[in-house]
Amino acid sequence: MSQKFNENNWKELAEKELKDRKLNDLGFDTPEGIRIKALYTEKDILNLNHKIGLPGLPPFTRGPRATMYANRPWTIRQYAGFSTAEESNAFYKEGLKNGVMGLSVAFDLATHRGYDSDHPRVLADVGNAGVAIDSVEDMKVLFDGIPLKKMSVSMTMNGAVLPVLACYIAAGIEQGCSTDELTGTIQNDILKEFMVRNTFIFPPKPSMRIVADIIEYTSKKMPKFNSISISGYHMQEAGANQVQELAYTLADGLEYVKIALERGLKIDDFAPRLSFFWSIGMNFFMEIAKMRAARFMWSEIIKNFNPQNPKSMALRTHCQTSGVSLTEQDAYNNIIRTTTEAMAAVFGGTQSLHTNSFDEALALPTTFSARIARNTQLILAEETGITKVVDPLAGSYFVESLTSQMIEQAKKLLKEVEEAGGMVKAIEKGIPKMRIEESAAKRQAKVDSGEETIVGVNKYKPNQKQDINILSIDNDQARRDQIKRLEEIKKRRNNENVKMLLSRLRDAAKNKSSNLLEISVEAALARCTVGEMTSALEEIYGRHTLNSKTIAGVYANSSRNNDAFKNVQNEIEKFSKKNGRRPRMLVVKMGQDGHDRGAKLIATAFADLGFDVDIGPLFQTPNEAAKQAIENDVHIIGVSSLAAGHKTLLPILMEELKKNNANSIKVICGGVIPPDDYDFLKKLGVSEVFGPGTNIPKAAIEIVKLI
């Protein structure tokens, strides 16, 4: 009796304490519309929207394989590529000697956009932010001494996916590797390019035909190769919250399944080789729940197509730690951020992982920083014991409840897409892009106001200047090397054969009679270049353009009670009274970099603050940007740079303004720019350089005073 009395008494006291502490008041609502409580109990997992189940069995909530890491850890990948194929090859070999298990290739933006290195529009893009690939000869050098029979290769390529994949296949063939021995993944996810990343080439309809041709070819001839990596990564990098990333990525996947089925393939012919790609940010438990929710939801989606092979319903994924979470200020903090994000990916059950280097908010990673990033994974895999238990967080009151809530919220977005007529129609209507840009603006307002803490940026700022060695690429030399190789290829090849194959490619694009990848492989073997194959298709399909629009009011609505916001508006009012008009800014992205989150955020926020803002079209040349600035009579040009092209593009822009007697137009620059380059830019005449993590209202006041 005494023991029973004490237990009841303890329970009453515990419940009274919880009530007195008002735990419900300590909860909060996430940007995804999910209520997070301070305490979770067994009651929270009584009515879940998902089945927890067992790993390796549908609905795969706990992972696509029964033993997960207890049998074999995730694949450690290193996403890399820079300058020429020779330099990237040396970097890959060093990584393979030090624990890397699979290669992930980053291509330069000229290659992404289907231009050869000698094209005049890619002066600043060759070898920057990725490796330049103009033909099979570059691809052969890239993998020299790396047997493609044995090595899993992941390639982030979407726009120029046909010629680049064709060059990879041709390189494998010339190594003595048959197509059915090739293993790896091609991203081939064009829908997300139209939403966020913008490295598209052709319009949506022909782009989807290319996706289908690749799925068809690989399902028949490359059974070990993943024909598509459906990517949410770039959505989160563009500002999507985790529910948006989850829902829109699955919606993209469903669209790809439908086009493959329309091609006459059966679901089991290709679904087991579909893979996914998630961004893993700093919201630790939300990321874990996102991955669990994704596996459950994908299993349910594919079940509707009556697969006979359970593997068709299993969502397999690669993950990469967030690039957006990396900060220029107090950059060594990024090592801790990447470690935290890597742990979330592992607890979420990823099949492979790339960890970003701490210096990537400054420049391309060095060998030193890349080693730290790689060792982060090795330590997690071999020192922590995490790999010993399959899905250790299964059954957690909080994690399972959060997974269930994410499923509920994601289904609402999926319903919106379905009502729009599917993902292609939703993208054409701008629905996902608008939602993602709204999310990005809201988050930026919270960071600028200090409501959301970024350690070392808006709180706990360092007192000392950091000294970090960074990698610098000689873009001019890389371009000269590539052009020399191009010239040699064109001298040696059979140019009549080249003309015939390019003609066949154009004909196939017109009449759909042949598989475009099959012809592209023949063309690559004959030394047709990436640019030539792209141009042949461009003659039939055209090159897609995008109207740059900004959303209004979102940043303002999240900032109106902020003193800094009001201060900017006061300064603009003074400026307007003095000058008879508001300050006018042109925001531009020059070169082939389509990552426009920063440019869109600046344009949106400055417009809400009271500036007149014009936004230039993507992929402008410096000449085109200068012309637009002069015609629009702007006070200032804001240049957004992420892909290391500033040292080539800014001098041309400044010279063009000078040539047209427009020196009164001020130029500022922002983005991923190494601090060592600030003096170079200021000597050119650039008025100010703003790095990642810049507080927008403070920058706006500086700019008003500047002009």
Question: How far is residue 312's CA from residue 306's CA, in Å, rounded to a whole number?
Answer: 10
- Residues annotated as catalytic (active site), given as ranges: 79, 233-234, 589, 593, 595
Question: How far is residue 316's CA from residue 309's CA, in Å, rounded to a whole number?
Answer: 15
| Residue 692 CB contacts under 8 Å (≥ 6 apart), including other chains | 326, 327, 328, 361, 671, 672
Helix or strand holding residue 427 (H, E): helix 423-428
| Residue 385 CB contacts under 8 Å (≥ 6 apart), including other chains | none
Question: How far is residue 528's CA from residue 506's CA, in Å, rounded to a whole number?
Answer: 13
Residue identified by tokens 């494998």 is 172
Residue 601 DSSP SS3: helix
CB of 79 closer than 8 Å to CB of 102:
no
Edge-to-edge strand list for the sheet holding 228-231: 225-226, 184-186, 153-155, 102-105, 75-80, 352-354, 317-321, 274-280, 228-231
- C-alpha gyration radius of the chain: 26
| Residue 32 CB contacts under 8 Å (≥ 6 apart), including other chains | 241, 242, 243, 244, 286, 406, 409
The beta strand positions in 303-413, using DSSP E, are 317-321, 352-354
CB of 669 closer than 8 Å to CB of 682:
no
Give the β-pairing of 28-29 and 35-36.
Answer: antiparallel
Task: Dump the DSSP string for 503-517.
Answer: HHHHHHHHH--S-HH
* Token code pair at residue 703: 């700019």
Edge-to-edge strand list for the sheet holding 612-615: 612-615, 584-589, 636-641, 666-671, 688-690
Backbone phi, psi, residue 445, to 5°: -60, -40
CB of 691 closer than 8 Å to CB of 381:
no
Residue 74 zone, left/alpha/beta (φ > 0; ψ -120 to 50; rest): beta
Question: How far is residue 527's CA from residue 495's CA, in Å, rounded to a whole number?
Answer: 9
Tell me whether the omega of the peptide bond preceding residue 59 falls within 30 degrees of 0, making it cis: yes
Question: How far is residue 78's CA from residue 374's CA, in Å, rounded to a whole number?
Answer: 7
Q: Give the closest residue to 33 by CA, choosing from 396, 348, 407.
A: 407
- DSSP annotation of 453 reads -
Q: Give the closest residue to 465 by CA, choosing from 328, 670, 641.
A: 328
* Token code pair at residue 468: 């970090």
In Å, what is the CA distance from 444 to each residue of 331, 440, 593?
19, 6, 22
| Residue 530 CB contacts under 8 Å (≥ 6 apart), including other chains | 111, 114, 115, 116, 133, 134, 135, 160, 163, 164, 167
What's at 244, amino acid-wise? Q
Give the β-pairing of 584-589 and 636-641.
Answer: parallel
CB of 504 closer than 8 Å to CB of 142:
no
Decide: residue 187, CB within 10 A, 0-12 exposed, 13-18 middle, 19+ buried: buried
